[in-house]
Amino acid sequence: MEQHELIEKVKVTCQDSIVRIEEMPNDDVLVEIKKEEILSVMDILKNDPELKFSISNHLGVDNGENYAVIYNLYSYPFKHKITVKACLDHEHPEIDSVESIFQGMNWFERETYDLLGIKFTGHSNLKRLLLPPDWEGHPLRKDYVYPDFYNQIDNRRPDLCD
Amino acid sequence: MAELVSQEMFLNMGPHHPSTHGVLRLIVQTDGEIMRRAVPDVGYLHRGIEKIAERVTYQGFMPYTDRIDYVSAFSGNLGYALTVERLAGIEVPEKAEYLRVIAAELARMGSHFIGFGAVLLDLGAVTPFVHALRERETYNDLMEMLCGARLTHNYARIGGVSHDLPEGFKEKTLKFIDHLEYEFIDEFNNLISFNSILVKRFANVGVVSAEKAIEYTLVGPNLRGSGVQFDLRRDDPYSIYDRFDFEIPVGKGKFGTVGDCYDRYWIRIQEIRESCRIIRQALEQMPEKGEIRTKIPKVFKPPKGEIYVRTECPRGEMGFYLISDGGKSPYRLKIRTGSFSAMSILEELSQGVMVADLVAIIGSFDIVAPEIDR
Amino acid sequence: MHNLASIIQSILKELFGSSPSLDLLYTFLGYLVPCLTVVTVIGMIGGILTLMERKVAGAIQNRLGPNRVGPYGSLQWIADAIKLHLKEDIIPALADKNLFRLAPYIVFVGTVLTGLVIPFGGSFIVVDLNVGLIFLIVAVSLVVIGLLMSGWASNNKWALLGGIRSAAQIVSYEIPSALALLTVILITGSFSMQKIVAEQGLFPWQWFIFYNPFTFIAFFIFGIASLAELNRVPFDFPEAESELVSGYNVEYSSMRFGFFFAAEFGNIFVTASIATAVFLGGGNIGLDPYESGIGYQLLMVLVFFAKAIPLCFVSLWVRWTLPRLRIDQMMSMCWKYLIPISFVCLTCTALWMLVFNGNGIFWRMSG
């Protein structure tokens, strides 16, 4: 299936949820959806007999004015790719966890929660993954300030130019 | 008679433990030798590479990609370079493509030597590990000839590679792959691969079905071990892999169930042979003379946009999701690695196995801790 | 009495005369000298075996092995021992201190006790007990108490797991190894080590390994079982460095660790000696061990070592070639295969004795 065919197909199957759909470099298709519809869209993408997507990657982005979560999906039987994107508001970044559909997202979502502070409702074990549990803040946010101390460990570096 | 009260034991496996392949901690709940659960606690090697990417220039990030998976440093280089090139629409010269393929396949072999060597070491067989390391030594020498570095190569550049083929490299590489194809692999298999103790330890242990492998986003040799014939080099070709003739080994349940530890191990052995074939063809087809790098401006600013590029690394696909805002450095760079997803399945696989099996399972996934934590 | 102690006693009597109180002193001295010799010899052989292991490992793995101390690294083991003595002896704060201190000695004593009844060829045996072989089996099992003790006393979960593994393993593998040795007892009708050696001869067809097909199998069962008792690969579960880090001795340092180490390698030699004496004719060169001259006696010792050292080498060779089994596989191998087979060997040897009137397959058939 070519890019435009896939776009048509996705447009038909999840018409109401789509905010914007366009071509992406590297034979990819970018679908921006409403964040409330994430579970139904993922369900369609996974179970539609002509799509059969499985998940390959997940990330979160701090866009400044809002957050976005991005899911890269790949269909092993049909070899086409799709990138699903949902924008979250900046004050309370929250979205449904897709762990119930793709089990492997457990760790990916934990990582995103850890580094960006996006909450995934319905996640079975939403704890920090990479950083220590008592770490404050979410480093990949654009407004993140490096802490000077962590558990009395001095993180500051002397400015050699002074 | 009073019933004997038995208590489950919590063991702290790692962060310093000989068979956790880096700094990795597992909280193991055991009932004697039988494991109830093993919960991985990762992050000891988290260096914030993705955050660093937002602070350095596009070219300046290349050395950091060495450190994502330092066992096969060039694979990270290649994936990153490809991502930026595809976003910016940079053409790579013919010769550079060949050099990249050669280096990538050498890196794959070098990584697999450690991969199956280390899992054998975990099973108590020390000698095969040393033999595998002997071959890796030659790989290190070759990479040193090619780019001057033995571990973190930093060989790829955006738009090409850093150095041209040195004199004598071709002959030495051919000799090396001859040695591998006709001597080493057979010798190694006779020494250890068909050893009945090894087969007993590996067969039917840590079975991952094809559905579960896809569900848990397993990639690369771990996915193929479960019987899914999928290789990005063939199914979503990048660079010039479509010009070569090679096969994709798939797990067939050689001594047990499809998707057990032995299948994953056996695939890595076979991939050495396939890499040898690719290198041989690449060395034959490679043009004698030619550019090795497209000139890119010193202050390199790719256009605004998003791209997700995956490459087939020794530990599965390494994906770079790059968001560019048109500035000097990436706006957001997400690195998706094979060990990360392999690690996430461990908790489920570890239920009910023995402590010794856990070690075999970790090893058979060929996990490298820095790749999990990034 | 035919042993080294009595020989020394008679020499002393000739030199200094005899009286009841002096006799007591002679007895004491007569046993002290050979005992000290045996402790030293086993300790030294343990040390030399560590060097040999490293050299063999080097050869198998395409590298040199130790080559810095002495010519070709031949003094490395002495340097190691000195280093171990000089290291700080650390006892964990929450360990059971008395047990922790005691454990290495028990392991080491278990090893050197076996040295008392090993016939090194000729009259070189400390004491030729009439229950020699039983004594050997008992003394070897003493090791397991020490290992369990060290695992428990360390107050470390990994060490405990190692200690328990070793207890399960050694206790299980005692059975096939003892049964394998018993097949030979059926032939000789004596537990005395000297008698067992004397029943055999210089030539291979006079050895008990080739007595009948079942003793041949029993030899290999003993070999496998003793590898397990020695905690060597493929049965090195108590240590299993990639699983249990280092097992029962993980908290030990300094010479306490050294004792474990020396005992482990001493044990390799001890089991090789048992196999040599019981199955491979020991130091028997067809002459009477007590009546021959000193030259022949030394030749017997040489023959004994020429058989024992290659067996030690086999143990090292296996270690650097094979991977490790899993603990349940090892247990099932013992209980499902080795024990039944060794019982069959025992029974069939008994039947053989009955049917062929005590004649072996080669050597008594003609004569």
Here the ipTM equals 0.86
User: What residues contact residue B91 under an 8 Å CB cut-off, 6+ apart?
Assistant: B159, B294
Nearest to C135 by CA among C156, C116, C157, C107: C116
> Cβ distance A114 to A139 under 8 Å?
no
Do B363 and B123 meet the contact criterion of CB atoms below 8 Å apart?
Answer: yes
Q: Which of B321, B323, B340 is facing A107, going by the closest CB pair?
A: B340
| Phi, psi of B21, rounded to the nearest 5 degrees | 50, 60
- How far is the C-alpha of C178 from the C-alpha of C160, rounded, in Å? 27
Write out the two tokens for B172.
């030495």
What tens digit of pLDDT does each residue of C219-277 get?
999 988 888 888 777 777 766 666 677 778 888 888 888 888 888 888 888 889 889 88
* Domains of chain B by residue range: 9-373
Chain C residues with CB-CB distance to B356 below 8 A: 240, 243, 324, 326-327
Indicate the average pLDDT of chain C. 83
**Chain C 206-245, residues with CB within 8 Å of chain B CB atoms:** 233-234, 236, 240-245
Q: Tell me which amino acid residue A3 is.
A: Q
CB contact (8 A) between residue A107 and residue B341: yes
Amino acid letter, residue B231: D
Cα C163 from Cα C143, distance rounded (Å):
11
Strand, helix or coil for residue A73: strand
Cα separation of B129 and B151, whole Å?
A: 18
CA dist B98 → B78, B164, B280, C4, C345 (Å):
12, 11, 11, 78, 65
Q: Measured between CB atoms, does A3 come within 8 Å of chain B? A: no
- The answer to whether the Cβ–Cβ distance between B308 and A107 falls below 8 Å is no
- Give the pLDDT confidence score for residue C2 in this predicted structure: 55
Closest Cα to residue B51, out of C138, A140, C328, C311?
A: A140
Q: Do B323 and A106 touch (CB under 8 A)?
A: no
Between CA C35 and CA C59 the distance in angstroms is 35
Instruction: List, as one string, the DSSP characters of B290-352.
Output: ---B----SS--PPSEEEEEEEEETTEEEEEEEEE-SSSS-SEEEEE-HHHHHHHTHHHHTTT
Percent of chain A as helix, strand, coil, to the nearest 5: 20, 30, 45
pLDDT tens sequence across C110-151: 888 888 888 887 777 777 788 888 888 888 888 888 888 888
What is the CA angle B157-B159-B160, rounded to 5?
Answer: 60
**B345 and chain A in contact, CB less than 8 A:** yes
Cβ atoms of residues C152 and C102 within 8 Å:
no
| Per-residue pLDDT reduced to its tens digit, C314-343 | 888 888 888 888 888 888 888 889 899 999
Instruction: State whether C323 and B124 contact (CB < 8 Å).
Output: yes
Nearest CB to B321: which of A70, A131, A139?
A70
Q: Are C176 and C221 in contact (CB under 8 A)?
A: yes
pLDDT for C242 = 64
CA nearest to B87 within chain A:
A25
Identity of residue B147 = C
Listed by start position, the domains of chain C span 86-365
Q: Which residues in chain C (157-176) have CB-CB distances under 8 A to chain B?
A: 157-158, 161, 164-165
CA distance B356 to A70: 38
The helix (run of H) or strand (run of E) holding residue B161 is strand B160-161
Q: What is the mean pLDDT of residues A134-155?
A: 83
The pLDDT of C49-64, averaged and rounded, is 87
Write out B7-66 in H/E/C secondary structure: CCEEEEECCCCCCCCCCCEEEEEEECCEEEEEEEECCCCCCCHHHHHCCCCCHHHHHHHH
State how far residue A18 is from chain B, nearest Cα, in angstroms: 19
List, in order, residues 6 or more apart from C58 with CB less than 8 Å away.
Answer: C64, C65, C66
The predicted-structure confidence for A89-100, as pLDDT tens digits, reads as follows 888 888 888 888
pLDDT at B196: 85
- Interatomic CA distance for residues C151 and C160, integer angstroms: 4
Q: Give dist(CA C251, CA C100) in Å, integer.
A: 9
Q: Which of B283, B243, B251, B244 shows the shortest CA–CA distance to B269?
A: B251
3-state SS assignment for residue B162: coil
Q: Which residues of B are less than 8 Å from C321 in CB distance?
A: 125, 127, 191
Residue C316 Cα distances to B127, B269, C78, C320, angstroms? 12, 27, 20, 6
Residue whose token pair is 């994502």: B68
What residues in B contact C234, CB-CB < 8 Å? 124, 197
Each residue's pLDDT, cut to its tens digit, for chain B (374 residues) gives 567 777 778 888 877 777 667 788 888 888 877 888 888 888 888 888 888 888 888 888 888 888 888 888 888 888 899 888 888 888 888 888 888 888 888 888 989 998 888 888 888 888 888 888 888 989 999 888 888 888 888 888 888 888 888 888 888 999 998 888 888 888 888 888 888 888 888 888 888 888 888 888 888 888 888 888 888 888 888 888 888 888 888 888 788 788 888 888 888 888 888 899 899 888 888 888 888 888 888 888 888 888 888 888 888 888 898 888 888 888 888 888 888 888 888 888 888 888 888 888 888 888 888 888 88
Nearest to B126 among C165, C320, C325 (CB): C320
Residue C183 has pLDDT above 70, yes or no: yes
**What are the residues whose beta carbons fall under 8 Å from the beta carbon of C237, sequence distance 6 or more?**
C162, C165, C166, C169, C231, C243, C244, C247, C324, C327, C330
- The predicted pLDDT at position C366 comes to 47
User: What is the rounded distance in angstroms from the CA atom of residue B162 to the CA atom of residue A65?
Assistant: 39
Reduced to 3 states, what is the DSSP secondary structure of residue C251? coil
- Per the CB < 8 A criterion, the answer to whether C266 and C42 are in contact is yes
Q: Which of A150, A49, C188 is nearest to B46 (CA)?
A: A150
Using the Cβ of C155 and the Cβ atoms of chain B, whether some distance falls under 8 Å is answered with no
Q: What is the tens place of the pLDDT at every residue in A50-76?
A: 788 888 888 888 888 888 888 888 888
Which are the contacts of B247, defined by CB distance < 8 A and separation ≥ 6? Answer: B274
Number of Cβ within 10 Å of residue B10's Cβ equals 12
Are A104 and B334 in contact (CB < 8 Å)?
A: no
- Domains of chain A are 3-143 (3.30.460.80)
In the chain, the amino acid numbered B76 is G
CA contacts within 13 A on the Cβ side of B239: 30
* Confidence band, pLDDT 50/70/90 cuts, at residue C3: low
Residue C61 near chain B (CB below 8 Å): yes
Give residues with Cβ within 8 angstroms of C299, minimum separation 6.
C285
- Other beta carbons within 10 angstroms of residue C55's beta carbon come to 19
Residue/partner pairs of C76-80 with CB below 8 Å, 24 or more apart: C76/C51, C77/C47, C77/C48, C77/C50, C77/C51, C78/C47, C80/C47, C80/C50
- B85 CB near a chain A CB, below 8 Å? no
Token reading at B347 = 């908790």
Cβ neighbours around C348 below 10 Å, total: 18
Residue among A26, A55, A139 whose CB faces B86 most closely:
A26
CATH of domain B9-373: 1.10.645.10
